[in-house]
Structure 1
Amino acid sequence: MKAVVCRQYGGPDSARLEEIAPPAIRPGSVRVQVQACSASFASLLVMEGKHQNRAPLPLIPGTEVAGVVIETGEGVTQFQAGDRVIAGVQSGGYAQEVVVPQQTVFHMPEQVSHDSGAHFPTIYGTAYGALQWRADLMPGEFVLVHGAAGGSGLAAVEIAKALGATVIATVGSQAKESIVRQHGADHVINYRDTDWRDAVLGLTDGRGADVIYDPVGGDTFDTSLRCIAPDGRIIPMGFAGGRIPTVPANIVLVKNISVIGVYWGYYFGWGRHPVAPANDARLRAAYAQLFDWTIQGKLKPRTHATLPLSEFKTALRMIANREVMGRVIMKPQE
């Protein structure tokens, strides 16, 4: 099979498309023929050796795939050959085939395309888990989403709206402002020409945002602490801005706020601690809800560009240059 292989850390330029043997099937796992996989900022970090999950070399990057089950391992009960699925993988997604434990594979309705499905395993899952499970978002609350035109941001905007929130989004250009409005944001602030802290306070009658979804970190996180509502929840779910911020405990105390961590890999069993068996039903219900919202038109995964897997360097450079609104999808079978 063809796969993107990194034999040393160093980013996209250190990797190449190779012809390698397919991975062996394992008990409790399924083999998926990958029809679509997502290029992501996380993959850039993995390829540079900077991600918190430092994968051993050689490695195949990629964590989100959609495709068709072509083989099942011993003990698999939930899938059979021919099933249309999405899957979250710790690594290995940038390939024509991937072998995945059935616990991180989910049925995908016929109404959802493979290209759209490849958005769901981590970015839509993370946004749902963060806003519904961890932040306990309630209808009518104000949600502030940073980096709102990126894949993670658009997912958060759409899910917050589906949960009944009023969404304030920050972006860095007029083009991104238009896209974010199309995906449901009630208010959009261009941080390049507006003091977004004052704008958030103005939109909330001085109270601040109830929930803040922050994939940027750095100065953005610091300023968010100055426009969060009492009893508010801030979710630092990424650090695209480069600097990992620290949390002043006095602000947490005085403003009565919660800082909520969300690592979706934990729910997939990628963490250091085993996950309770009940987690499987919870995850499957979450993805069923996400796909129901998609069929209803509440979620509209935006594919910025579609490229063959052979152009993975182009896809990842687009992300590094912050050109992408939504996701870049790669097609391993082309």
Structure 2
Amino acid sequence: MSRGGVHADLADVPADELLHRPRGVDAVTGAAVWTAHLTAYGALAEVGRLAPGDHAVITAASSPVGLAAVRTARRLGAIPIALTRTGAKAERLRAAGAAEVVATDEGGAADRVLELTGGRGAAVVLDPVAGPALAETARTVAPGGTLVVYGWLAGPAPLPMNWPLNIHGFAVDHITDHPDRFRRARAFIESGLASGALVPDVDRVFDLADMARAHHHLESGARFGKVVVTVDH
């Protein structure tokens, strides 16, 4: 989408960047599934090596990637802890599979995560926010664990250099540009869709003519899951 652009009723893209929609998946679900779930699987399984019984902290948990990560962690046998700004979305996050929900606006989020993990911290922390709070987020990583940063919603961040952890910058190209990783990711996601373990959360659907409204809704912070734009031909 960064190279070719997709805000149009027709898009010209390379054939090798297209995927067949899995059997039984409708067009809206198909549009919602791939970027979020490829990112979640790649960060947690391929980079973080998340194992059964591990804790995974997922910030911005009501975002499409956050929700995909909650379900992906569950499917890997791990224990997802969802971080979100307020408690308003807590019940929906628990329904999506979060073992615990921590509201960051209430303060003390890192201490709460350490309490929930018996003082150890999480094996993997997945964060798209970064910014000045990244050093505090890093406190939730277990010694020797992995902090995966896949976005910069709050801008550049100081690196937490005084904590024994691994820090990875991640983009979905880490999966899509490597055939073996891509094959494993597709198998994981397609089998999860078929079993019902992975369910893309679609917040709202807009027509292409309402693209401006779709962007305003994205920027409002009110969404829970993916915003999809459709085109009628």
- State the TM-score, normalizing by the size of structure 1: 0.66
SS in 2 for 1:133: helix
What letter is aligned with 1:243? G
What letter is aligned with 1:200? V
Q: Counterparts in 2 of 1:97-112, with a 5 A limit?
A: 97-112=10-25
SS in 1 for 2:105: coil
Query: Partners of 2:74 and 2:159 in 1: how far apart?
Result: 28
Q: Indicate if the aligned counterparts of 1:211 and 1:233 stay in contact, CA closer than 8 A.
A: yes
Aligned to 2:195: 296
Deviation digits for residues 234-275 of structure 1 (CA, Å, limit 9, x no counterpart)? 0011112x2211213333xxx2x1001212135445xxxxxx
Equivalent residue in structure 2 for 1:309, among 200, 208, 215: 208
Aligned to 2:168: 260
Residue 227 of structure 1 pairs with residue 140 of structure 2: yes
Percent of residue pairs identical: 30
Q: CA RMSD in A?
A: 1.7
Aligned to 1:323: 222
Structure 1, gaps ≥5 residues long:
1-62, 64-88, 270-278
Q: Indicate if the aligned counterparts of 2:87 and 2:102 stay in contact, CA closer than 8 A.
A: no
Q: Indicate if the aligned counterparts of 1:210 and 1:228 stay in contact, CA closer than 8 A.
A: yes
- CA distance 1:206–1:267, change in 2 (3 Å): closer
Query: Partners of 2:24 and 2:35 in 1: how far apart?
Result: 20
Q: Indicate if the aligned counterparts of 2:56 and 2:81 stay in contact, CA closer than 8 A.
A: yes
Q: Counterparts in 2 of 1:26-175, with a 5 A limit?
A: 63=1, 90-175=3-88
Aligned to 1:249: 161
Query: Partners of 1:144 and 1:282 in 2: how far apart?
Result: 23
- CA distance 1:140–1:238, change in 2 (3 Å): same
Aligned to 1:191: 104
Query: Partners of 1:258 and 1:155 in 2: how far apart?
Result: 22
- CA distance 1:290–1:90, change in 2 (3 Å): farther
Q: Indicate if the aligned counterparts of 1:217 and 1:236 stay in contact, CA closer than 8 A.
A: yes
Query: Partners of 1:246 and 1:312 in 2: how far apart?
Result: 35
Equivalent residue in structure 2 for 1:176, among 89, 97, 104: 89
Query: Partners of 1:176 and 1:90 in 2: how far apart?
Result: 34
Query: Partners of 1:102 and 1:283 in 2: how far apart?
Result: 16
Equivalent residue in structure 2 for 1:237, among 135, 150, 154: 150
Task: Give aligned pairs, total.
Answer: 233
Deviation at 1:95, TM superposition (A): 2.0
Deviation digits for residues 97-131 of structure 1 (CA, Å, limit 9, x no counterpart)? 22222322122222111111112332211111111
- State the TM-score, normalizing by the size of structure 2: 0.93
- CA distance 1:90–1:122, change in 2 (3 Å): farther
Going by fraction, where is helix more abundant, 1 or 2? 2
Deviation at 1:168, TM superposition (A): 0.5
Q: Indicate if the aligned counterparts of 2:74 and 2:80 stay in contact, CA closer than 8 A.
A: yes
Deviation at 1:173, TM superposition (A): 2.8
What letter is aligned with 1:205? G
Going by fraction, where is strand more abundant, 1 or 2? 1
Q: Indicate if the aligned counterparts of 1:169 and 1:187 stay in contact, CA closer than 8 A.
A: yes
